[in-house]
Amino acid sequence: MKIITRIAGRLVKAAIVLLAILVLNFLLIHSAPGDPATVMAGEAGATDELFLEQLRIKFGLDQPLYVQLWKYVSDVARLDLGFSYRQQMPVLDLILDRLPATLLLTGSAFLVSLVLGVLAGVLAASRVGRWSDTLISTVALIFYATPLFWAALMGVLLFSVTLGWLPPFGFETVGAGYTGMARAMDIARHLVLPAVSLGLFFTAVYSRMTRASMLEVSQMDFVKTARAKGLSPRLIQRRHVLRNALLPIVTLAGLQAGQLVGGAVLTETVFAWPGIGRLMFEALAQRDYNVLLGVFFVSAAMVIVFNMITDLIYGIVDPRIRVQ
């Protein structure tokens, strides 16, 4: 009963936060300069006032802002994210069509950065002061300081243009007609450069944080006690040091997992990856308000979901912590 009450409380808080984000995004988007009716009329080649007025009435843009806000919140409560002026289709369908590509890219980048970063951090901490520790720390610092777009462009220049090992952009080879395993391998080859580019920064962060956290934990009294008992260094590192050093890594991983969905805009644009990040960039240029609001809503919802998952993982990593 107590657990159900806690979960219900977290869900209510999440709904309130999501509603606040929804309203704030709506007001910010509608306070931006530019008229979507003018953009649509310009693309149709008609700019007279009568046509503009017809467009505003058709899409409800002639209504007062509070009426538009109430209608939007009511529609979202029914999982209706509106209609795209530009794409001429429901926003929810657009996002569901693009979301798998974004989840594949961000999920791959998340796993690559988390696994490589933690392994590098553990190796550096276990060999502190040696040449391998210096090498890992130097490489991590380079990754940390390298701008994402520069790393992406250099990756394309080296591995696609010069060596010809990997495709430079796109989700798969257009017109190749691959199916089954051949298509999966083709998508995997297209995924390597964007996933690595997106994960470089967090690989460096995980590496540095894991190293620092393990060195801090290894000086604590319970670790000294374990050494005094004669436990093997590997057992102490795995059971006592690494487990306690993982808490800040779990915190950062939860933040990264949520932010990657909205933060993949630059990577998807550079590599022409057909995800919701690129969809958001296109909607911004076209002033397609409903698509922008839909992408913001989905990104915010995923951040909240990942934060709740992170809270649950805390209890698994360290049973002393209880989900409040």
pLDDT digit string, tens, across residues 285-302: 777 888 888 888 888 888
Task: Give just the sign of the alpha carbon dihedral 60, 62, 64, 65.
Answer: positive
> Distance (Å, rounded) from C-alpha 262 to C-alpha 248?
22
Q: Which tokens in the block code for residue 217? A: 């934990």
pLDDT greater at residue 229 or residue 162: 162
| CA-CA-CA-CA dihedral for 56, 57, 61, 62, to nearest 10 | 100
pLDDT score for 63: 81
At residue 197 the predicted structure's pLDDT band, cuts being 50, 70 and 90, is confident
At residue 181 the predicted structure's pLDDT band, cuts being 50, 70 and 90, is confident
- Residue 86's nearest CA partner among 277, 288, 307, 256 is 288
The yes-or-no verdict on residue 62 having pLDDT over 70 is yes
DSSP 194-250: HHHHHHHHHHHHHHHHHHHHHHHHTTSHHHHHHHHTT--HHHIIIIIIIHHHHHHHH
- Residue 271's nearest CA partner among 94, 152, 98, 151 is 152
At residue 164 the predicted structure's pLDDT band, cuts being 50, 70 and 90, is confident
pLDDT score for 322: 55
The yes-or-no verdict on residue 39 having pLDDT over 70 is no
Using only C-alpha atoms, the chain has a radius of gyration, in whole angstroms, of 24
At residue 42 the predicted structure's pLDDT band, cuts being 50, 70 and 90, is low
- Portion of the chain with pLDDT greater than 90, in percent: 0
Count of other CB atoms within 10 angstroms of residue 171: 21
- Tabulate helix, strand, coil % of the chain (nearest 5): 75, 0, 20
Q: Which tokens in the block code for residue 244? A: 């306690």
pLDDT score for 30: 78
> Distance (Å, rounded) from C-alpha 163 to C-alpha 156?
10
pLDDT greater at residue 258 or residue 170: 170
Among 57-61, 96-100, 191-195, 215-219, the minimum mean pLDDT is found in 57-61
pLDDT score for 244: 78
The yes-or-no verdict on residue 111 having pLDDT over 70 is yes
Mean pLDDT of 87-115: 87
Mean pLDDT of 60-73: 83
Q: Which residues are bridge partners to 83 per DSSP? A: 90
Is the distance from CB of 106 to CB of 198 less than 8 angstroms?
A: yes
Q: Which tokens in the block code for residue 115? A: 């696994």
Is the distance from CB of 89 to CB of 100 less than 8 angstroms?
A: no
In the predicted model, what is the mean pLDDT of the chain?
Answer: 81
pLDDT score for 304: 83
pTM of the predicted structure, to 2 decimals: 0.79
At residue 229 the predicted structure's pLDDT band, cuts being 50, 70 and 90, is confident
Mean pLDDT of 209-229: 83
pLDDT score for 259: 66
Q: Which tokens in the block code for residue 16? A: 């309130």
pLDDT score for 9: 78
Mean pLDDT of 73-88: 83
